[in-house]
Chain A
Amino acid sequence: MTGIALPAPDPAILARRDEIIAGLKALVPGEGVITSEEERRAFETDALTAYRRMPLAVVLPSTTEQTAAVLAFLGREGVPVIPRGAGTSLAGGALPQEDAVVLGVAKMSKVLDVDLANRTVRVQTGVTNLGVSAAIAHEGFFYAPDPSSQLACTIAGNIAMNSGGAHCLKYGVTTNNLLGVTFVTLKGEVIEIGGDALDAPGLDMLGLICGSEGQFGVVTEATLRILPMAEGARPILFGFASPETAGACVAAVLGAGIVPVAIEYMDKLAIDICEDFAKAGYPRDVGAMLIVEVEGSADEIDEQLARIGAIAGDHGATYARQARTPAEAAAIWKGRKSAFGAMGRVSDYICMDGTIPTGTLPQVLTRITEICDNAGLKVANIFHAGDGNLHPLVLYDMNDPVSLAKAEKAGEDILLACVEVGGCLTGEHGVGIEKRDLMTAQFTRIELEQQMRVKSAFDPNWLLNPAKVFPLDDRLPKVAA
């Protein structure tokens, strides 16, 4: 029904289903093994909902030891494993397959230790992203990476995807805030990598595992860097007549030596849809809008906003409004962070995630409009402007296969345009199945083979999340020799 091919399930594994389930039940007691069709349905897709596959079974271990036993068992039996956090991947990263067991970390969701003096926390990876910040907020600390899905998504998924958020212009993405992991291999080995001491010598396995999309092993615990909250923060809205002027303003702010905590871009359609939903007070009569947030004491914020305001004025901002109260600030962010949800109320959409050199923004936006006009589709652009991470939302109708096919094609063309100008296919959502077949546009055969060799070093038989990241044809182990 949909464009992305998925491998045919292995009948030999399907035939052994009862045996495999019995094996899992011997390792994880009670409700930790999910087998009924009804309950498995909750795991058949992630946030790329156009694709669904019913897994063989779902296992939810409660401890690292159980996870190790399960992985060793499945590795021995040659059964594919799909690691899963909350299933909010937009790239189909957590999509099951019929001959695979989903291994979820949902039952491991505790904050294990908070160490304010050393500014670290130790968590089980099933904890939600927001759960980490919530556990330390009363101490005046927070965990910086803030994906819009932070209420639901887990640290496990964040690590696997190296997730970002609106505030990573200043604070970095997951990999810059991750100090250590407990990593379980398919052999059932439990390996401590990193910890609360910085920069361990040896190859940077921590950096390699972060962003490996569940293809190397299962991460059950993590040590995270936490930060003291700023004295205050205040967003300001700027409206511009055109995307070009907004883009030029972003470049000028960064070029002037100011790095705000966040610079978010929305176009007209995105503004309208978010404003209808969140009543954030966004200007309706502009062609593009920036949300710029700065931090510090009240005086510091005033000073920075004055500098930024002057630059925006020079670049033709037609509208400027600061949040005057915490409630107004919250409303401004609510509008932005609920953008995907708000969009979902008015239409089905696919969310693209390319990154471009910010200087090419006007050119790329023109190209996106062209691509979508030609396909007869509407597009709303939301964009982490400071770091060039674009989220064009291509609207389509789920009940119309032709419209989905067109949207997928338009999405592909948009990503290829990002690669062409020196950017990349995905800035924070990951490759998953969604961008798997485009990898040859970004990488040479030699480069892909080298990445595949790295996967083989962790997982020689390609059992972990096997259908993701690399095009299905021409794969290892063929190139292993």
Chain B
Amino acid sequence: MTDTISPFDEAGIEATIREAADARTPILIRGAGSRAGLGRPAQAGRTLSTERLTGVTLLEPSELVVSAKAGTPVAEVEAELARVGQRFAFEPFDHRPLYGGEAEPTIGGLVATNASGPRRIYAGAVRDALIGVRMTTGRAETIRSGGRVMKNVTGYDLVKLACGSHGALGVITEATFKTLPAAETEATLLIEGLDDVHGVAALCAGMGTPFEVTGAAHIPGQGGQPARTCLRLENFENQVRYRAGELAARLRSFGAADRLDADASRALWRDVRDAQPFLGSPARALWRISTAPTRAPGLVARLGALVEAHLYDWSGGLIWIATSAEGDAGAGRLRPMVRDARGHATLVRAPDAVRAGIDVFEPEAPALARLTAGIVQAFDPAGVLNPGRMHVR
């Protein structure tokens, strides 16, 4: 067991980081630990937890804005938003279905991993909704970037830099998001029996219509169940009805579309978001691959027998692929093919020993890697924050 420190405020975070930097002893940064399986297993004697920095600090529905301290459970913020008829547009991704465990995901972890769900394809990622952060850097200094207004180009956009930084730059202590009204209702059009190529083509065709498809996933056939190509509409009741009709007509050449009502639609998209329900045994390794949608089915075909199960989200641009967790979880064969498809791959789940031995995130080209290293150095000169979580140092 490592020693865990859970400061109550930013001063405590600063003190902990200062001590670590002075002594050059690495620390791990943790929210609740619900996403601890992500990234390379980092080693450190000490863990700094944000679990005691909690609370929604600003909720202004008429300005579409919410702020919360880093340790606040995502579910708590979502509940507050639901109370005023709003939500996070990016549909927070929850890693628990992949890793198991009870830990309640926090706002800090959501931001640090830029964890977006199916609506990302329509409404943007966490990084697009994030409009302000407070962060204690590896220099033990607390800085702000952005703020509470959604249009802000004052100074560099360190908000984007913090989002998805996996703790490499600092400890995010508070985050502010642009929110959106929750839709009045939703429905999903379902076309059955398409192969991957036609399924993704149908998704792309749907995304190219004016009907604002907010989820576009293709679930390949499995165990006697036919493949399902799913397109979600969310809006006011009348609009959803009208748009479902129009969209079905535009997609007729792909087959007749069934319509799932709001409840069935919600259940389906929860499963698509979680991905795990379609990917078989949790003992399998799991890759998350991003490429342009139309290149996705070809990539899956080339990966061939490596693919034990798969699922397309984001109009096909996000492919979840389950592989055997043996050896390098398929990295040696998979990475070059993904690069050929001008995509990138993240090994989202694999035993620690596997993740310790290979690049978990897509390796960066050398010139880009040098820039990244320069930025990390600018925030954490002693190199004590989550060392090795993102990249082999």
Residues of A within 8 A of B (CB): 115-120, 140-141, 161-162, 164, 168, 172-173, 175-176, 185, 189-193, 195-208, 210-212, 228-231, 251-252, 254-255, 257-259, 296-297, 299-300, 303, 355-359, 384, 387-389, 422-431, 435, 439, 442-444, 446-448, 450-451, 453-458, 469
Give the Cβ gap from B14 to chain A, nearest Cβ, in Å.
Answer: 11
Chain A residues lying within 8 Å of B262, measured Cβ to Cβ, are: none
Also in contact, A429 and B365, with CB within 8 A (given A117-B293, A176-B128): no
Chain B residues lying within 8 Å of A457, measured Cβ to Cβ, are: 371, 374-375, 377-378
Question: What are 28 A-B interface contacts by the 8 Å CB criterion?
Answer: A116-B208, A117-B293, A119-B208, A172-B128, A175-B157, A185-B367, A191-B371, A197-B291, A197-B292, A197-B343, A198-B120, A198-B318, A199-B125, A200-B290, A202-B362, A203-B376, A204-B160, A207-B160, A211-B156, A356-B149, A387-B149, A388-B150, A422-B147, A422-B148, A430-B153, A443-B155, A450-B139, A457-B371
Instruction: Give 5 nearest A-B pairs by CB, closest first.
Output: A207-B160, A257-B181, A457-B374, A251-B62, A427-B151
Is the CB–CB distance between B344 and A201 below 8 Å?
yes
Also in contact, A210 and B157, with CB within 8 A (given A116-B208, A254-B62, A457-B378): yes
Chain A residues lying within 8 Å of B371, measured Cβ to Cβ, are: 185, 191, 205, 457-458
Q: How far is the CA of A279 from the CA of B165 in the complex (A)?
A: 51
Is the CB–CB distance between B239 and A201 below 8 Å?
no
Q: How far is the CA of A165 from the CA of B317 in the complex (A)?
A: 28
Is the CB–CB distance between A442 and B154 below 8 Å?
yes
Give the Cβ gap from B24 to chain A, nearest Cβ, in Å.
Answer: 18
Bits for B39-83, please: 1 = Cβ < 8 Å to A, else 0: 000000000000000000000111111000000000000000000
Chain B residues lying within 8 Å of A469, measured Cβ to Cβ, are: 155
Also in contact, A228 and B208, with CB within 8 A (given A176-B124, A197-B291, A355-B149): yes
Q: How far is the CA of A22 from the CA of B243 in the complex (A)?
A: 62
Residue of B nearest to A251 (CB): B62
Is the CB–CB distance between B147 and A208 below 8 Å?
no
Interface size on B, residues (CB 8 A): 87
Is the CB–CB distance between A427 and B141 below 8 Å?
no
Q: How far is the CA of A132 from the CA of B385 in the complex (A)?
A: 42
Candidate in A120, A168, A201, A207 with the most chain B CB atoms within 10 angstroms: A201
Is the CB–CB distance between B208 and A117 below 8 Å?
yes
Chain B residues lying within 8 Å of A116, measured Cβ to Cβ, are: 208
Bits for B134-150, please: 1 = Cβ < 8 Å to A, else 0: 00010101111101111
When the two chains form the complex, which single residue of B120, B152, B181, B242 contacts A427, counting CB atoms closer than 8 Å? Answer: B152
Is the CB–CB distance between A359 and B155 below 8 Å?
no
Residue of A nearest to B162 (CB): A204
Chain B residues lying within 8 Å of A252, measured Cβ to Cβ, are: 62
| B238 close to chain A: CB less than 8 A | yes
Interface residues of B in 362-383 (CB under 8 A from A): 362, 364-365, 367-368, 371-372, 374-379
Is the CB–CB distance between A208 and B160 below 8 Å?
yes
Q: How far is the CA of A251 from the CA of B65 in the complex (A)?
A: 12
Also in contact, A162 and B182, with CB within 8 A (given A118-B294, A358-B62): no
Q: A118-B292, A297-B242 are in contact. List 12 more A-B contacts (CB 8 A).
A: A118-B293, A119-B208, A192-B365, A195-B342, A196-B292, A202-B372, A203-B165, A205-B375, A228-B207, A387-B150, A426-B152, A450-B141
Chain B residues lying within 8 Å of A258, measured Cβ to Cβ, are: 181
When the two chains form the complex, which single residue of A202, A207, A251, A357 contacts B149, counting CB atoms closer than 8 Å? Answer: A357
Is the CB–CB distance between B204 and A359 below 8 Å?
no
Is the CB–CB distance between A208 and B157 below 8 Å?
yes
Also in contact, A447 and B144, with CB within 8 A (given A359-B60, A439-B155): yes
Q: How far is the CA of A116 from the CA of B293 in the complex (A)?
A: 11
Chain B residues lying within 8 Å of A120, measured Cβ to Cβ, are: 292
| B158 close to chain A: CB less than 8 A | yes
Q: How far is the CA of A424 from the CA of B120 in the complex (A)?
A: 27
Residues of B within 8 A of A (CB): 60-65, 85-86, 114, 116, 120-121, 124-125, 127-128, 137, 139, 141-145, 147-161, 163-165, 168-169, 180-182, 184, 201, 204-205, 207-210, 236, 238-239, 242, 246, 290-294, 314, 317-318, 342-344, 346, 361-362, 364-365, 367-368, 371-372, 374-379, 390-391
Q: How far is the CA of A428 from the CA of B150 in the complex (A)?
A: 11
Chain A residues lying within 8 Å of B342, measured Cβ to Cβ, are: 195-197
Is the CB–CB distance between B154 and A425 below 8 Å?
yes
Is the CB–CB distance between B124 and A201 below 8 Å?
no
Q: How far is the CA of A424 from the CA of B47 in the complex (A)?
A: 35
Is the CB–CB distance between B292 and A454 below 8 Å?
no
Also in contact, A204 and B149, with CB within 8 A (given A117-B294, A191-B365): no
When the two chains form the complex, which single residue of A118, A203, A424, A444 contacts B164, counting CB atoms closer than 8 Å? Answer: A203
Is the CB–CB distance between A231 and B158 below 8 Å?
no
Chain B residues lying within 8 Å of A450, measured Cβ to Cβ, are: 137, 139, 141, 143, 158, 378-379
Q: How far is the CA of A205 from the CA of B163 in the complex (A)?
A: 11
Candidate in A120, A162, A296 with the most chain B CB atoms within 10 angstroms: A296
Chain A residues lying within 8 Å of B377, measured Cβ to Cβ, are: 457
Q: How far is the CA of A300 from the CA of B376 in the complex (A)?
A: 49
Also in contact, A431 and B239, with CB within 8 A (given A117-B293, A191-B367, A207-B163): no
Chain A residues lying within 8 Å of B60, measured Cβ to Cβ, are: 357, 359
Q: How far is the CA of A384 from the CA of B150 in the complex (A)?
A: 11
Q: How far is the CA of A448 from the CA of B317 in the complex (A)?
A: 38
Chain A residues lying within 8 Å of B116, measured Cβ to Cβ, are: 199
Residue of A nearest to B125 (CB): A199
Q: How far is the CA of A428 from the CA of B143 in the complex (A)?
A: 22
Give the Cβ gap from B239 to chain A, nearest Cβ, in Å.
Answer: 5
When the two chains form the complex, which single residue of A168, A200, A453 contacts B151, counting CB atoms closer than 8 Å? Answer: A168
Q: How far is the CA of A388 from the CA of B201 in the complex (A)?
A: 39
Is the CB–CB distance between A257 and B182 below 8 Å?
yes
Give the Cβ gap from B368 to chain A, nearest Cβ, in Å.
Answer: 5
Is the CB–CB distance between A198 and B125 below 8 Å?
yes
Q: How far is the CA of A175 from the CA of B146 in the complex (A)?
A: 14
Q: How far is the CA of A259 from the CA of B129 in the complex (A)?
A: 15
Q: How far is the CA of A103 from the CA of B344 in the complex (A)?
A: 33
Give the Cβ gap from B208 to chain A, nearest Cβ, in Å.
Answer: 5
Also in contact, A119 and B149, with CB within 8 A (given A197-B290, A197-B317, A211-B156): no
Q: How far is the CA of A357 from the CA of B148 in the complex (A)?
A: 7
